[in-house]
Amino acid sequence: MNAIAPPPGTGLRGWEFDRPVPKHGYAWWYLDALSEDGAHGITIIAFIGTVFSPWYAWSRRWGAGDPENHCCMNVALYGRPRRWAMTDRPRSALRRGADFLRIGPSSMDWDGTALTVRIEEVTAPLPSRISGTVRLLPEAVSTRAFLLDAAGRHRWQPIAARARAEVAFDSPALRWSGPAYFDTNAGAAPLEADFLEWDWCRAPMPRETAVLYNAIRRDGSGQSLALRVRADGVVEDIAPPPPARLPRGFWGVARPARSEDGTARLVRSLEDAPFYTRSEIHTRLLGQEATAVHESLALDRFAALPVQVMLPVRVPRARR
């Protein structure tokens, strides 16, 4: 099979796993997928500089802030059974090159056609094994990238907004496939230094995908991105749809959404934490009804001392 050629653009390919990550900064690669029957879902985030790790936050406060000393392969399985793993690991656990990333026993590899993710993790707070492989097959690769703040310290790139995933796990025993998404973020400062809140949404459709990204910056300004990603990977700007209300999470985190008819519906909560929600929603975008993955993040909540004290229960620190 021939390698996927990205369309002309101003960004990088996106999977440069050997990119430099500055002190106090971060880089992450995110993928999610939902099964065709709607019964299952998965999210995987590979972090260098684990932005939601209390260990990295404490390291920055103490003056160290080495992102390579705080790396992680975060895995969440939705449906039955549910699983969660997010282990913060030291520099000795990290190996990387242009097309591969190893974090402890887990890895990501790009072969020119597909991204293969091999997972060997242990859940928290109750330990159980997560072992399996996810193969992500992009329809096309996009190279357009976006700055999220006025100072240019934070960057986002939707690498493959249109993709499919093949999921095969031994523990727990799972086999399914469905529409998927792959992007990357990178920054030169902690998220909470420059943002108060943000929300993100991706909605796959038969011939195109809508992606929405809204940020409220700490200086009071905001940014609202509304994008159409075509089947050939070209990313086009569209007018932001009107706001739509969704119920707050259990912990009170808002779920700002958008829909062309002004209404959106919560299908199910995937994650509901004191500072973060991930949800499956129903909305209307690009003139079509769509099932979308939606996230919202409240960074003052993340930085609050009670949350930082609780987080090690869900985000343990490994010695290697």
The model's confidence at residue 15, banded by pLDDT at 50, 70 and 90, is confident
Pinpoint the alpha helices (H) of the chain: 54-61, 191-194, 299-303, 305-310
**Average pLDDT of the segment spanning 77-88:** 96
DSSP 7: P
pLDDT above 70: residue 299:
yes
pLDDT above 70: residue 81:
yes
- For the chain, give the percent of residues with pLDDT over 90: 92
The per-residue pLDDT for 1 is: 39
The per-residue pLDDT for 2 is: 45
pLDDT tens figures, 168-207: 999 999 999 999 999 999 999 999 999 999 999 999 999 9
Rounded to an integer, what distance in angstroms lies between the CA atom of residue 163 and that of residue 150? 31
Which CA distances in Å does 196 have to 87, 91, 301? 25, 29, 9
- For the chain, give the percent of residues with pLDDT over 70: 96
Rounded to an integer, what distance in angstroms lies between the CA atom of residue 295 and that of residue 305? 23
Domain boundaries, the chain: 14-189, 190-310
The per-residue pLDDT for 12 is: 57
pLDDT above 70: residue 232:
yes
Domain 14-189 has CATH 2.40.370.10: yes
Cα angle 108, 113, 115 (rounded to 5 degrees) comes to 20
DSSP for 110-136 reads E-SS-EEEEEEEE-SSS--EEEEEEEE
Matching fold, domains 14-189 and 190-310: yes
The per-residue pLDDT for 4 is: 52
The per-residue pLDDT for 118 is: 98
Contact between residue 284 and residue 244 where contact means Cβ atoms under 8 Å apart: no
The CATH-assigned architecture of domain 190-310 is Beta Barrel (2.40)
The per-residue pLDDT for 10 is: 43
- Label residue 93 left, alpha or beta by phi (over 0 means left) and psi (-120 to 50 means alpha): alpha
